[in-house]
Chains A and B, each alone.
Chain A
Amino acid sequence: MPVLHGNRAFLVILFTVLAALPLVANRYLLFVANLVMLYIILALGLNLLVGFAGQLAFANAAMYGIGAYGAGLLQVKVGLPYWIAAPGGALLAMGIGTLLALPALRLSGVYLALATLAFAQATQWVLLHWQAVTFGAGGFPVPQPDFGVLHLSPDHGVYYVTWIVTVGLLVLAWRVMRSRIGRAFVAMRDSEVAAQALGIDVTLYKAMAFAISGFYAGAAGALYCSVLAFVAPESFDLFQMILQKAMIVVGGLGSLVGSVLGAALLVSLLQVIREFKATQEIVFGALLLGFVLFQPRGLVDLLKRRLRGWEEPLHGP
C-alpha cells in the first residue's frame, strides 16, 4: 500500500478526525466542525470558479443563501421532506448560478466582479424584502430532519450527512480537475484565446463552471439551514463575500487542498474573534490584503516548497 504523505495525508487525517468528533465533542465544537465542512464545500466551489476557471465572480454568498432559503422554504412552505428539499435548494442555486454565466461571456475582471457583486446584494435585498415568500429580515426556523430510524440525534444525523456530502463533493472536485474538463478550465483561465484555438468552447465551460460552483454553494446552504435549524438574510451579507474570498486566497487559488486548508483555518479563526464585528472586519481585511501582497499563491504554495507530497494536478502559478 503506498505510503500516505503530503496533502493526501492531511486530507485523510482531517476527515478521520471530523468523522470521529461526534463521539467526543460537545455541542459547540460539533457545530464549529460542521461549519468547517460547510465552508470547505463553499471554498471548493468558489475556487473552482475563480481559481481554476478564472472567472472573477462575487456572487457565491448569494448562491449560498439561495440554497439555504430554497431548502428551508421547500420544507416549511411546500412541506417537502428534507431529503427532497435539500437537493432542491442546491439545484435552484445551480440554476440561478448558471444564469450568471451570461454576463461572464461579455464581461471580465472588475466589470464581472461588480456585476456579480451587485447581483449578490440584490439577492440579499430580495431575501430581506420579499416578506411574503422569505419571511423577511427576521428569518424563519426550519425543523431538523428526524434520524430516529438510525438511532441518531438530529444534531449528529445532520453532522454525518454534512460529512458524507463534503467528502463526496471533494472527491467530485478532484475528479473534475483531473480530467479534460479541468484542463479546459485552466486553459480558459490562462488564455481564453488560445483555449478557443484548441477547440475549447468557452461558452460551455463558463456555464459549467458557474453551474458547478452554484451547486456547491447551494448544497452548502441547504445543509446549513438544517445545521442551524434557522434561516435569516444576515448570514448571506457582504462579510460572507470577504470571508469566502479570503479562504481561497489564503489557502491557495487554483488548489483543492488549499480550499480545504483555507476553510478550516479561517472558520476556526472566526470562532476565536466572533465577539466583535470590528475585529472580524479588520482581521479578515488584513488577511486578504496581506496574502495578496506577500503570499498570493497561498499557504499550499509554501507547503509545496517546504514539504514533499503537496503537488496537485493543474496547480501552477
Chain B
Amino acid sequence: MLSYLVATGITTGALYALVALGIVIVYKATEVVNLAHGELFMMGGFLAYTGHVMFRLPYLLSLVLAVAGTFVIGLLTDRVAYRPLMKEGLVSVLLATIGVSFILKGIARYLWGGKGDYLAFPPLVSPEPVRIGAIMVMSQQLVVLGAALALMAVFFVFFRATRAGKWMQATASNPKAATLVGLRIGRIYMYTFAVGAAVAGAAAVLMAPLTLLYPDIGFVLFVKGFASAVLGGLTSIPGAILGGLLVGLLEQFAAGFIHTSFQDVSAFIVIMVVLIFRPTGILGARGLRKI
C-alpha cells in the first residue's frame, strides 16, 4: 500500500509541479501571482478535448492547438487586464486576475459544460499499466512525470543561461532599472504571461487522459499548484517541482492514513502553514518582498 501511495503521489505531484512551474515563472518575472492560472490549464484541456474528441484531430495536433490557444489567452489577458493595472499596484492586478478566472470559468462552463459537466479524454498511450518494481503505474503518468522534468530542465536553463531569461529576471527584480537599460518590460511581461499560460496548456493536455475535465478543475489545480509553489519557494523553479512532488505525496498519505476526504484539504493546510511559518518556502530566496 505504501508503494502505491508513493507512486500515485509522485505522479499527481508531477502534475502539480507543472502547474506550479507556470505560477513561479510568471511570479519570477512580474511579481504577480496569477489567480487565473488554473483556468488557463482548464482551457488547455478543453481545447485539446475539442480538437481530439470533437473534431477527431490527431492527438499531437490537438496538443499544439491547446498550447497555442492557451498562449493566445495568456497574451490577451495580459494585454487587456493585467498590463494596464501594473502601475496601479499588485492588489489591483490580484483582483483583476480573480475577475479573469471567473470569466474564463464561466465561458468554459457555457461552451463545454452543457452536457453534464464532466468530460472524459481518451488515453494517449496504451492504457496498460506498466510494472516498475512492485508497483503498477500507468504509462500516461510516466509521460506526465517525464514532461515535468523536461520542462523544468528547459526553464532552468532558460532563466540561467539565455539572454531572454535573464531579462525576465532583471525586469522582475528592478523594473525601473530594466527600463533604463532599454528592456521593453511591457513586452517581456506579456510574453512571460503567455509562456506561463502555454505551460499550463501543455500540462493540461498531458494530464487530460488521466482525469475528467470540468470547469471547476481550474481553481482546484491552482490551489494545489500554489501550495506546491509556495512550499518549494515562489522564486525557485526547482522548488516548484520539489513542492509539487511533496504536495502530491502529502495528499496521498493523508488520504491513505487519515481518511480519503483529507486529500482535498491537504493543499489548503500546506498554504496556511507555509505562509504563516516560512513564507519563503524550502528553496526560496530569503527576505520575501511583502506586497
A and B touching (C-beta < 8 Å)?
Answer: yes
- Once the chains bind, are A107 and B290 in contact (CB under 8 Å)? yes
Within the complex, the shortest CB–CB distance from B97 to chain A, in Å, comes to 9
In the complex with contacts A281-B105, A282-B110, A122-B33 CB distance below 8 A:
no
Say yes or no for A217: interface residue by CB 8 A criterion.
no
Say yes or no for A194: interface residue by CB 8 A criterion.
no
- Once the chains bind, are A125 and B84 in contact (CB under 8 Å)? no
What CA separation (Å) do A122 and B267 show in the bound complex?
Answer: 9
- Once the chains bind, are A281 and B103 in contact (CB under 8 Å)? yes
- Once the chains bind, are B106 and A280 in contact (CB under 8 Å)? yes
What CA separation (Å) do A125 and B100 show in the bound complex?
Answer: 25
- Once the chains bind, are A281 and B109 in contact (CB under 8 Å)? yes
Say yes or no for A303: interface residue by CB 8 A criterion.
no
Q: Which residues of B222-278 are within 8 A (CB) of A? A: 223, 226-227, 230, 261, 264-265, 267-269, 271-272, 275-276
Say yes or no for A289: interface residue by CB 8 A criterion.
yes
Which residues of chain A come closer than 8 Å to B267, judged between CB atoms?
118
- Once the chains bind, are A281 and B102 in contact (CB under 8 Å)? yes
Which residues of chain B come closer than 8 Å to A119, judged between CB atoms?
268, 272
Say yes or no for B107: interface residue by CB 8 A criterion.
yes
Say yes or no for B94: interface residue by CB 8 A criterion.
yes
What CA separation (Å) do A286 and B265 show in the bound complex?
Answer: 29
Number of interface residues, chain A, beta carbon within 8 A: 41
Which residues of chain B come closer than 8 Å to A281, judged between CB atoms?
102-103, 105-106, 109
- Once the chains bind, are B271 and A118 in contact (CB under 8 Å)? yes
Say yes or no for A121: interface residue by CB 8 A criterion.
yes
Q: Determine the residue in chain B with the shortest Cβ distance to A103.
A: B276
Say yes or no for B127: interface residue by CB 8 A criterion.
no
- Once the chains bind, are B291 and A278 in contact (CB under 8 Å)? no
Within the complex, the shortest CB–CB distance from A31 to chain B, in Å, comes to 25
Q: Which residues of B78-104 are within 8 A (CB) of A? A: 81, 84-85, 88, 90-92, 94-96, 98-104
Which residues of chain A come closer than 8 Å to B261, judged between CB atoms?
125, 129
Report the interface size class on chain B: 35 or more
Say yes or no for B41: interface residue by CB 8 A criterion.
no
Within the complex, the shortest CB–CB distance from A174 to chain B, in Å, comes to 25
- Once the chains bind, are B90 and A110 in contact (CB under 8 Å)? yes
- Once the chains bind, are A282 and B102 in contact (CB under 8 Å)? yes
Within the complex, the shortest CB–CB distance from A264 to chain B, in Å, comes to 21
What CA separation (Å) do A252 and B249 show in the bound complex?
Answer: 44
Say yes or no for B219: interface residue by CB 8 A criterion.
yes
Contact bitstring A95-111, B, C-beta under 8 A = 1, else 0: 00000001100111111
Instruction: Specify the main secondary structure of chain A where it touches its partner.
Output: helix
Which residues of chain B come closer than 8 Å to A107, judged between CB atoms?
275-276, 279, 290
In the complex with contacts A109-B90, A113-B94, A293-B85, A278-B268 CB distance below 8 A:
no
Within the complex, the shortest CB–CB distance from A261 to chain B, in Å, comes to 18
Which residues of chain B come closer than 8 Å to A41, judged between CB atoms?
none
Q: Determine the residue in chain A with the shortest Cβ distance to B216.
A: A238
Which residues of chain B come closer than 8 Å to A288, judged between CB atoms?
95-96, 98-99, 102
Contact bitstring B12-56, A, C-beta under 8 A = 1, else 0: 000000000000000000000100000000000000000000000
- Once the chains bind, are B99 and A292 in contact (CB under 8 Å)? yes
Q: Determine the residue in chain A with the shortest Cβ distance to B31.
A: A110
- Once the chains bind, are B279 and A111 in contact (CB under 8 Å)? yes
Which residues of chain B come closer than 8 Å to A111, judged between CB atoms?
275, 279, 288, 290-291
- Once the chains bind, are B264 and A125 in contact (CB under 8 Å)? yes
Say yes or no for B113: interface residue by CB 8 A criterion.
yes
- Once the chains bind, are B291 and A285 in contact (CB under 8 Å)? no
- Once the chains bind, are A293 and B106 in contact (CB under 8 Å)? no
Which among B99, B110, B265 has the greatest number of chain A C-beta atoms within 10 A?
B99
Which residues of chain B come closer than 8 Å to A108, judged between CB atoms?
290-291
Within the complex, the shortest CB–CB distance from B172 to chain A, in Å, comes to 14
What CA separation (Å) do A114 and B102 show in the bound complex?
Answer: 16
- Once the chains bind, are B105 and A293 in contact (CB under 8 Å)? no
The list of the 5 closest CB pairs from A to B, nearest first, reads: A285-B102, A289-B99, A281-B106, A282-B106, A109-B291
